[in-house]
Amino acid sequence: MYLICDYKGMIAEVCENPAWIKRQSNGVDVLCPESEATALYSNDTDSYYPAGRAAVSGTPYHLAEVDSVPAGAGKGWKYENGQFSKAAFIPTVEESVAAFAKLSLASIEEEDTKLKVSGLYEDWQPGSYAVGDIYNTHAGGSLGAEWEQTWEVFQAYDNETYPDIAPGNAAWYTFNRPLHGKSVETARPFVPVQGSHDLYRAGEYMVYTDGKTYRCKQDTNFSPEDYPQAWEVAS
Per-residue pLDDT tens for 114-125? Answer: 999 999 899 999
Q: How many angstroms separate the CA atoms of 59 and 14, rounded?
A: 19
Q: Quick count: other Cβ atoms within 10 Å of Cβ 21? A: 18
pLDDT at residue 58 greater than cutoff 60: no
Indicate the average pLDDT of the chain.
90
Prediction pTM value = 0.60
- For residue 106, give Cα distances in angstroms to 52, 101, 156: 45, 9, 17
* pLDDT, tens only, 65-87: 999 999 888 888 889 889 998 76
pLDDT at residue 44 greater than cutoff 50: yes
Predicted local distance difference test score (pLDDT) of residue 108: 86
113 neighbors 134 (Cβ within 8 angstroms) = no
164 neighbors 182 (Cβ within 8 angstroms) = no
Q: Quick count: other Cβ atoms within 10 Å of Cβ 130? A: 10
Alpha helices in the chain (DSSP H): 93-106, 111-116
Share of the chain above pLDDT 70, in %: 94
Q: Please give the residue that has the higher pLDDT: either 29 or 190.
A: 190
Q: How many angstroms separate the CA atoms of 38 and 198, rounded?
A: 58
Beta strand spans in the chain (E): 2-5, 11-15, 18-23, 29-31, 39-42, 47-50, 62-65, 77-80, 83-86, 128-129, 134-137, 149-153, 157-158, 176-178, 188-189, 205-207, 213-216, 231-233
- Which one-letter amino acid corresponds to residue 19? A
Q: Please give the residue that has the higher pLDDT: either 59 or 200.
A: 200
Q: Please give the residue that has the higher pLDDT: either 53 or 66.
A: 66
Domain boundaries, the chain: 2-86, 94-233
Predicted local distance difference test score (pLDDT) of residue 89: 60
Sheet order of strands, 11-15 included: 11-15, 2-5, 62-65
- For residue 97, give Cα distances in angstroms to 6, 8, 13, 100, 132: 21, 22, 20, 5, 22
Overall average pLDDT of the 147-170 stretch: 95
